[in-house]
Amino acid sequence: MNAQPKVNAPPMPAADPASAYVRIANVTKRFGDFAAVDEVSLDIRRGEIFCLLGGSGSGKTTLLRMLAGFEVPTGGTIHIDGEDMSRVPPYERPVNMMFQSYALFPHMSVEKNVAFGLEQEGGGRAEIRRQVGEILDIVKMGAFGARKPHQLSGGQRQRVALARALVKRPKLLLLDEPLAALDRKLREHTQFELLSIQQRLGVTFIVVTHDQEEAMTLGTRLGVMNHGRIAQVGTPSDIYESPANRFVADFIGSVNMFEGRVCDGGGECLRIDSAELGCTVRAERAATGAAGATVWTAIRPEKINISRQPPVAAPAPSPENLVRGTVREIAYMGDMSIYLVQIESGKMLRVTLPNITRGLERPLTREESVWLSWHGTSPVVLTE
């Protein structure tokens, strides 16, 4: 990402106020001259899992800490369930947080850790014991109540941290990189468990993560953050298939991107001339653009076909959505292979193909000449 585009938050569709359970309005957080969070507005619905996705320094953690009350916004307001949180300190907010480091109290047993939040509210010992037992059973840690945190494995600690944050039945649970400390196998398993616990308890989750796979599987909706602003909000498939700008297209998954000029903006589809690509791109289901405007075309690697012969339907003399190239590199990944193909203009294209057949007779080899083509619905046309 050498040409970092300046991303402006697209205007949020004004959500129905009744459906906005958490409303973040024009929230800004400055540290000196640096705006960690810059005029962010977001509506989060009751019962959803909302993932804040972004690189380090994108402002996602600062936003989360403002929701928890650890940071006071420089400007803007946060409402939770209709209540203004501006002057509410962290210990009076109906919000709990699961920390990235889990932050389990090392000098207390698992039971004491989980009971800590309930003890702050008062309430009978028996009642506290019952609730602690219940939540520990839900996270399958019932048998470990007497253990100290250092006597637990990473996965067990994560469950205890989750139980401790959930036992007070918060209106909103904040999860800071909940799975980052777990190894790969355990992470996948835990993701689904987290989903089932969330569905069972119906608590609204806001998850901060830098891992797009995690965000995709966990989130009902995602908010992609960049430089303290929201670059796009939408469902996982919205974000992947219809990125709103070059940053999102590039940040989520991998993408081939070309600069071009609209040559025919009317009718059913858009035609774009790209010197970089060396062919005309025909994009269906794209926003109309004025002829002559500079745009970027983004095509996902898995949406490009690769073949030795030109596709039959190729109309001469000026083919659309079709280029010639030479295979330069092949990376075999097991379930799929990645091909780096150099097209005639010199640019490298990334193409992925699933390895459907076992023991292919004549696989593509390096330096082989190939044709690349794609369907008219595949290109996404971006104006910013």
Please write down the HEC assignment for all residues of 30-90: EECCEEEEEEEEEEEECCCEEEEEECCCCCHHHHHHHHHCCCCCCEEEEEECCEECCCCCH
Residues in contact with another protein by CB under 8 A are: 68-70, 87-93, 95-97, 99-101, 103, 105-107, 116-117, 120-121, 147-148, 150-156, 164-165, 168
Cβ-based nearer residue to another protein, 152 or 295: 152
H or E element at residue 370: strand 369-373
Comparison of 144 and 258: residue with beta carbon closer to another protein: 144
Residue with smaller CB distance to another protein, 15 or 72 = 72
Instruction: Report in angstroms how near the CB of residue 85 gets to another protein at its nearest.
Output: 12
Q: 233 by DSSP, 3-state: which? A: strand
Cβ–Cβ under 8 Å, residues 233 and 223: yes
CA torsion, ordered 286, 288, 293, 299, to nearest 10 deg: 0
Supply the minimum distance, in Å, between the C-beta of residue 351 and another protein: 39
Nearer to another protein, 89 or 354 (CB): 89
The nearest distance, CB 143 to another protein, in angstroms, is 10
Which residue's CB is nearer to another protein, number 2 or number 91?
A: 91
d(CA 241, CA 255) in angstroms, rounded, equals 11
Nearer Cβ to another protein (80/306) = 80
> Are the CB atoms for 189 and 158 separated by under 8 Å?
no
88-96: long-range pairs with CB below 8 Å, 24+: 91/120, 93/68, 93/69, 94/170, 94/171, 94/172, 95/67, 95/68, 95/69, 95/170, 95/171, 95/172, 95/173, 95/174, 96/165, 96/166, 96/168, 96/170, 96/172, 96/173, 96/174
What minimum distance in Å lies between the beta carbon of 100 and another protein? 8
Residue 342 one-letter amino acid: Q
C-beta closer to another protein: residue 123 or 311: 123
Least distance to another protein, CB of residue 106, Å: 7
For residue 206 the two structure tokens come to 């806001």
Residue 95: phi and psi, rounded to 5, are -130, 140
Which residue, 185 or 200, is less far from another protein as judged by CB? Answer: 185
- The smaller minimum CB distance to another protein, of residues 116 and 253, is found at 116
The minimum distance between CB 173 and another protein, in angstroms, equals: 11
Rounded least distance, CB 168 to another protein, Å: 7
**Single-letter residue type at 81:** D
b vs e for 84-123, b when ≥16 Cβ sit within 10 Å of the residue's Cβ?
ebeeeeeeebebbbbbbebebeeeebbbbbbbbbbeeeee
Q: How far is the CB of 211 from another protein (least distance, A)?
A: 20
Give the nearest distance from C-beta 70 to another protein in angstroms. 6
